[in-house]
């Protein structure tokens, strides 16, 4: 680009004007060989100097064009960023404990009706879609949660599960033959917040990870043995993925008393 611009300049009006002046000066001193030679020398220096200066002009113009191109691309990227969803932890209290009332009604193998009421603590994480601008494209769609549990202090990975959005339908509302996969993805409107269920403490005093799989054990009061959290202190890695979304959040909790204690 520098070479092309420089070529345009040296074939342009500046050096053309120098050439015209040189013709008139040479014509004026045509009968004076010494003066003509001196004039020719100065004209050569002037022509060379202007040609060298035009290299810097071409370099500046190249930089200026590249800068304009970069700024135009930066403005486009800025508009894209403004039009994207922006998922973040909803503070304060993004990681929290909520008591949930449960009622179980089913028949035992001998036909006896069993009713059990209980209120148990659930550990949850709340996220909000807080985009920079309220563009229609800033709605977050297809957002799924993935949860990994690590037992501390040895940091042993003990469980990986799909997260359940607390605001989604409960699996029993669907036919036993239908897929429960649509429950895994959530849509966030602009400014809308939703929570991911992490774990709960059952009435027997044990702690379990919680997601849609627990509903397969309703006759066991949602106790899914594979989700048992053995230990007292855990680190949770929670990752959200969806259209324009890739967010990771980590926190530490411990089992304490009849509930959860959030450390960090």
What's the whole-number average pLDDT of the chain? 86
Same domain, 43 and 111: no
Q: List C-alpha distances in Å: 213 to 93, 181, 222.
A: 27, 11, 9
pTM: 0.71
- pLDDT at position 238 is 97
Residue 128 to residue 89: CA distance in whole angstroms = 6
User: What is the structure's pLDDT at 2?
Assistant: 79
End position of a domain, from candidates 83, 100, 131: 83
The first and second tokens of residue 264, run together, are 């960090």
pLDDT the model gives residue 91: 93
Beta strands in the chain (DSSP E): 87-89, 95-107, 113-129, 140-151, 156-162, 164-165, 186-188, 193-201, 207-209, 233-242, 245-256, 259-262
- DSSP letters, 72-112, are HHHHHHHHHHHHS--EEE-SSSSEEEEEEEEEEEEE-TTS-
Kindly state whether residues 155 and 222 are assigned to the same domain: yes
Which pLDDT value is given to residue 32?
Answer: 65
Note the pLDDT of residue 30: 65
Whole-angstrom distance, CA of residue 14 vs CA of residue 233: 79
Whole-angstrom distance between the N-terminal and C-terminal Cα of the chain?
55
Q: Return the percentage of the chain with pLDDT > 70, whole number.
A: 91
pLDDT of residue 31: 66
For position 103, what pLDDT does the model report? Answer: 81
Instruction: Out of 19, 52, 83, pick the residue that ends a domain.
Output: 83
Residue finishing a domain among 46, 61, 83: 83
**230-260 confidence digits (pLDDT tens):** 999 999 999 999 999 999 999 999 998 899 9
115, 215: one domain: yes
Alpha carbon 71 to its chain centroid, in Å, reads 22
* pLDDT (0 to 100) of residue 189: 95
Nearest Cα to Cα of residue 18 among 49, 60, 59: 49
Overall domain count for the chain: 2
* Distances, alpha carbon 91 to alpha carbons 95, 125, 127, 187, in Å: 9, 10, 9, 20
Do 93 and 66 lie in one domain? The reply is no
Task: Give the mean pLDDT of 156-166.
Answer: 97
Clarify whether residues 131 and 179 are in a common domain. Answer: yes
Location of structure tokens 């239908």: 178
CA dihedral 39, 41, 44, 46 (to 10 degrees): -70
The parent domain of residue 67 ranges over: 2-83
Under a CB-based contact definition with an 8 Å cutoff, are residues 190 and 129 in contact? yes
- Pair (91, 72) in one structural domain: no
More confident residue, 195 or 39: 195
Contact between 252 and 263 (Cβ < 8 Å) = yes
Using only C-alpha atoms, the chain has a radius of gyration, in whole angstroms, of 37
Q: What is the pLDDT of residues 166-197, one digit of tens each?
A: 999 988 888 777 888 889 999 999 999 999 99
What is d(CA 228, CA 77) in angstroms, rounded to the nearest whole number?
46
110 and 205, same domain (yes or no): yes
């Amino acid at each position: 680009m520098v070479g092309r611009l420089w070529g345009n300049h040296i074939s342009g009006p500046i050096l053309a004007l120098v050439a015209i002046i040189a013709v008139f000066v040479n014509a004026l001193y045509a009968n004076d060989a010494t003066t003509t030679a001196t004039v020719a020398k100065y004209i050569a220096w002037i022509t060379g100097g202007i040609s060298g200066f035009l290299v810097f002009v071409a370099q500046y113009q190249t930089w200026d064009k590249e800068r304009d191109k970069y700024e135009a691309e930066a403005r486009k990227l800025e508009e894209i960023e403004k039009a994207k969803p922006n998922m973040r932890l909803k503070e304060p209290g993004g990681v929290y404990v909520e008591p949930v009332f449960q009622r179980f009604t089913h028949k035992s193998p001998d036909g006896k009706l069993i009713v059990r009421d209980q209120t148990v603590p659930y550990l949850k994480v709340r996220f909000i879609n807080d985009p920079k601008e309220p563009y229609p494209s800033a709605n977050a769609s297809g957002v799924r949660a993935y949860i990994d549990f690590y037992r501390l202090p040895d940091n042993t990975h003990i469980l990986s599960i799909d997260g359940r959005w607390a605001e989604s339908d409960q699996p029993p509302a669907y036919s036993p033959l239908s897929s429960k996969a649509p429950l895994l993805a959530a849509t966030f409107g602009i400014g809308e917040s939703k929570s991911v269920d992490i774990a709960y403490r059952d009435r027997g005093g044990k702690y379990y990870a919680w997601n849609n799989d627990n509903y397969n054990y309703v006759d066991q009061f949602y106790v899914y043995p594979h989700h048992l959290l053995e230990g007292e202190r855990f680190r949770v890695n929670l990752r959200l993925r969806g259209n324009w979304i890739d967010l990771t959040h980590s926190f530490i909790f411990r089992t304490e008393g009849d509930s959860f204690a959030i450390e960090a």
